[in-house]
Structure 1
Amino acid sequence: MPTSPDPAALYPEIAAFGSLAAALRAAAEGCLGAVPVTSPDSGPLIAATVASTVPHREPLRISAYRYERRWSIRGTEPFQRMALVDGDTDDLAEVARAARAWHDGTALDDIRRAAPFTHLTGRYEIPDHDPVRLVASEWRHLRQEAGELDYSWQPAYRALIEAAYTEPALRALYPFTSHWSLRFSTATRPSLAIVGPCLTAYGEGTYGVASLMAGEPDRFATAREAVAAAVRRLPPGLGPVTLGG
């Protein structure tokens, strides 16, 4: 495996400032003002964080690529630790604009307007951790993610996600994926309560339903057939999704 370049050689201007945090503040041309921006002692040239003024956002994480001159961002919420925004760019000034908007508590759509490289994951911000909204948020994320994937089996995977979403019994459960298999829970993250079977889309356009991830799946020709079989395997008497944790 090739050795990654010395960050000081790949980012000489960052090295001149001593840290990514200092370089980010300089590239911001005043837009960060008194916003707290820090870099860790263990990797000052390749990482920085920007705190937020709202409690339902964790500090925005900014990371430098190790093999090319580029920076990525990731902004998560603190309860489930799931990403609300991410993205990458070669323009540090754009990163600064996204960081300022994240810090100020700017609405997610408006963060994207301020810094167009920002990618919204589809999840909602839910400060009160309402489990019903968390379920809806995760379904929205999975549907968006399935539409954005660029793999040969993407059409089958998207068809599976959409078919599961149209089924009320599954839509009422908290969805998550493991190795691209769709699973369900009666509790939200961070402490899932897994229930029912797992659904898998295969590259040849067939679908599998298995009781366990390692179990031998039953095969179906369409996503609708697989979803119908999954519903039949749900245990009776499932109540509303509860808050995990």
Structure 2
Amino acid sequence: MSEAPDIATAWRWLLERKPGTRGAAHDALTVVVEAAYAEPRLRSLYPFPTHGTLHFLRGAPPWNEPGHDGLPFILYGGPPYKVYSSGYAELLGEAATPAEAAALAVAHLPEQVVTESGE
């Protein structure tokens, strides 16, 4: 399974459920992706679904540099939808809807999140 080459393509492939895209076959992921995409700060990050979670990375692959991760992520499959800090270090909260989970993730982003595109 290849990864999307950039942030915009990663979101488009997930939203369109492009065959072969990581997580595209999971209905529970789709509603979380749609809610996260509606949040401009999350939309500026690379969406990376893995093991029942939707992570937000600072840039597209290859991930050779440290610091590409380290942001909050959403455990989908709810409700409730759980939002954790990086590495499951802390449960940041639970939400009844995907939109509330996305807003909770945004609320726990660092003040300025710089992506590889400089946004």
Amino acid at match of 1:189: P
1:164 corresponds to which residue? Answer: 36
Matched, 1:209 2:73: no
More relative contact order, 1 or 2 (CA 8 Å, 6+ apart): 2
Compute the displacement of 1:166 (Å): 0.8
In the alignment, which residue of structure 1 is the partner of 2:101? 226
Distance, in Å, in 2 between the alignment partners of 1:212 and 1:241 is 19
The equivalent position to 1:241 in structure 2, one of 91, 116, 119, is: 116
Residue 220 (structure 1) shift: 0.9
- Which structure is larger by alpha-carbon Rg, 1 or 2? 1
Please give the alpha-carbon distance, in whole angstroms, between the structure 1 residues aligned to 2:88 and 2:115: 28
Partner of 1:198: 73
* Corresponding letter in the other structure for 1:207: Y
Asked if 2 retains the 8 angstrom alpha-carbon contact of 1:160 and 1:223, the reply is yes
For structure 1, list consecutive stretches of 5 or more residues without a partner in the other structure. 1-73, 75-81, 84-122, 127-133
| Contact persistence 2:69–2:86 (CA under 8 A) | no
8 Å CA contact 1:195–1:234 kept in 2: the answer is no
SS in 2 for 1:205: coil
Q: Percent identity?
A: 33
Where structure 2 has 5 or more consecutive residues not aligned to the other structure, the ranges are none
TM-score (norm 1): 0.40
Quote the RMSD (CA, aligned, Å): 2.7
Q: Which residue of 1 aligns with 2:8?
A: 136
Q: Per-residue displacement from partner, 1:12-38 (whole Å, max 9, x unpaired)?
A: xxxxxxxxxxxxxxxxxxxxxxxxxxx
> Which aligned pairs between 1:165-184 and structure 2 lie closer than 5 A?
165-184=37-56
What TM-score, normalized by structure 2, do the two folds share?
0.76
Distance 1:225 1:187, change over 3 A: same
